Chains A and B, each alone.
Chain A
């Protein structure tokens, strides 16, 4: 099999990038590229390029389907900045790898120098990989959150709530834990421990070549530490508040929708009732409106037939007038009414008092208002009334 020139492969990728990108997106969505889909994409881009994908070892067969070889997949992922979200559980594995290598470096520092160098190099490699995974995940999470916030697909609040909770619970919080330098079981804490050890060794290790290896590892760790802090800050300062806000917003909306199902049955926030205001206040118009509006939303009123028999009183004006005339002159008209009512009904009812008081307007009575005032008390109220003297026309006092 002949070796293809790298520049030929790169030129192929450049010339047919649209087809490559479509195939990459297909694999991202479906997990692999079905044969028919592959043929359809290649046909759509109108070129005879099927063989090159396999000759250049860009694609490989996987059962009936095709898929990108890992190197190309990673490369495309990197240049398209479209990283798959990596489960924090996968990143967590670096803890044991780094821990094992670190333990072996410590324990075997007096063993063969070759193996020590190899372990230091491998530790550096693992740390680089770990950092890359963290950075990829942070970038992906950031783009997911921003997409969710922009809500270009107009997904409904339930899906939004679900997605926000999903990213927080399964990705952001666990990743944050991995980067928490105060957590003794985190990778960040382990790296700090490694950095401390490496810092000493780069100065005191007897072999110069190994010292240089430690020195390189130390600077890598310093750089990684800065990058982890930056990523951690993105997570805690930007990503978490952003996505937490989306989650809160969706929860609030679900609360509003619950409320709107039956707004008049649910108790709303208490608000102070204004009860003192003046007629000349500049807000009087709105006070009045607000006051009347409180009667506009009314609960259902159920009217029931009252079975209580009401006492019926038929006012016989002529009879009362006759009584009054018979007793003239009356020195105190209201006192006379009260006595009449007490005598007849045993009680003094305001309605009856008003009815009888109308006798004062009878034309054949001579009414004399006196200056003195008095209080009379009925069953319902107290009244301040004038003293009225009544006599017949032409009759001497």
Chain B
């Protein structure tokens, strides 16, 4: 059987939990053979292939909850602080280069400092550096210098999560409001 080119990179990288980015050659191969790889990962490892126009990654029933939780808290606080700083965080995540010093300033001065201290993977400078390094290994950030990095499009997995959460919460609130209104009408009747 002839496998597509970059097959080994595709399998190795995705199996390491990395996000395969559209800027990588392997992504083009993966995109071209999407159906094959979807079946391949499902049949071989029971893993689900998730693809967007900008990145691809694998999912299993067993997930790394701690890492996901840490990264989500990291993005939540960073976005919140960037906004408080009067910056458009979507633009910043997409186009800006960050340095560790700026990240430190945000995390040391955040009003969510209690949460930062209570999250072992974020509690101090060293831990935050490790988390950023973990994100680098997963292709969520790309290093551009010693203490500098940019986010890859994989950050969208997390901002999409926040967007869905907000929409879910809004739907819940609207439903509650509607129920409340119905109760008022029923009482009036």
Contacts and interface: CB of A to CB of B under 8 A. Distances in A.
A284 B136 CA distance: 14
B90 A272 contact: no
Interface string B95-117: 00000000000000000100100
A293 B88 contact: no
Interface string A296-311: 1100000000000000
Interface in A2-40: none
Contacts of A290: 64, 67, 134
B120 A293 contact: yes
Contacts of A254: 166, 169
A154 B88 CA distance: 11
Interface string B132-151: 01100110000000000000
A268 B169 contact: no
A245 interface: yes
Contact of B80 (A152, A253, A297): A253
A260 B60 contact: no
A273 B163 CA distance: 24
Contact of A260 (B63, B77, B89, B134): B77
Contacts of A249: 83, 88-90
B165 A266 contact: yes
A189 interface: no
B115 A252 contact: no
A286 B67 CA distance: 12
A269 B68 contact: yes
A256 B80 CA distance: 8
B64 A253 contact: no
A53 interface: no
Interface string A119-135: 00000000000000000
A236 interface: no
A294 B63 CA distance: 11
Contact of A297 (B59, B62, B69): B69
A297 B64 contact: no
Contacts of B79: 252-253, 256
Q: Interface majority SS on B: helix, strand, loop or mixed?
A: helix
A223 interface: no
B17 A149 contact: no
Nearest to A249: B90
B178 interface: no
A289 interface: yes
B40 interface: no
A104 B160 CA distance: 55
A378 interface: no
A252 B115 CA distance: 19
Contacts of B70: 293, 297
Contacts of A251: 163, 166-167
B88 A268 contact: no
A259 B88 CA distance: 19
B146 to A, nearest CB: 17
Nearest to B72: A268
Contacts of B86: 151-152, 154
Nearest to B78: A256
A64 B76 CA distance: 53
A289 B130 contact: yes
B72 A294 contact: no
In this complex, which of B65, B75, B83 has the most chain A Cβ atoms within 10 angstroms of its Cβ? B83
Nearest to B50: A270
A344 interface: no
B171 to A, nearest CB: 12
Given A270-B59, A297-B66, A263 B121 contact: no
B26 interface: no
Nearest to A156: B83
Contacts of B175: none
Given A249-B89, A258-B169, A270-B59, A296 B73 contact: no
Contacts of B29: none
Contact of B90 (A248, A266, A293, A294): A248
B125 interface: no
B119 interface: yes
Nearest to A157: B83
B162 interface: yes
Nearest to B164: A255
A48 interface: no
A67 to B, nearest CB: 36
A271 interface: yes
Given A151-B86, A249-B89, A255-B161, 20 more contacts: A246-B88, A251-B167, A252-B159, A252-B166, A253-B80, A253-B89, A256-B162, A257-B80, A263-B119, A266-B165, A269-B72, A269-B157, A272-B17, A273-B17, A273-B60, A286-B134, A290-B64, A290-B134, A293-B66, A294-B67
State the 9 A-B residue pairs at the shortest beta-carbon distance, nearest first.
A255-B166, A296-B120, A255-B162, A256-B76, A272-B17, A255-B165, A270-B63, A294-B66, A268-B72
Interface of B: 14-17, 47, 57-60, 62-73, 75-77, 79-80, 83, 86, 88-90, 112, 115, 119-121, 130, 133-134, 137-138, 157-159, 161-167, 169
20 contacts: A249-B83, A251-B167, A252-B163, A256-B75, A258-B169, A263-B69, A263-B119, A266-B165, A268-B71, A268-B72, A270-B59, A270-B68, A271-B64, A271-B68, A272-B60, A286-B134, A289-B130, A290-B67, A293-B66, A297-B121
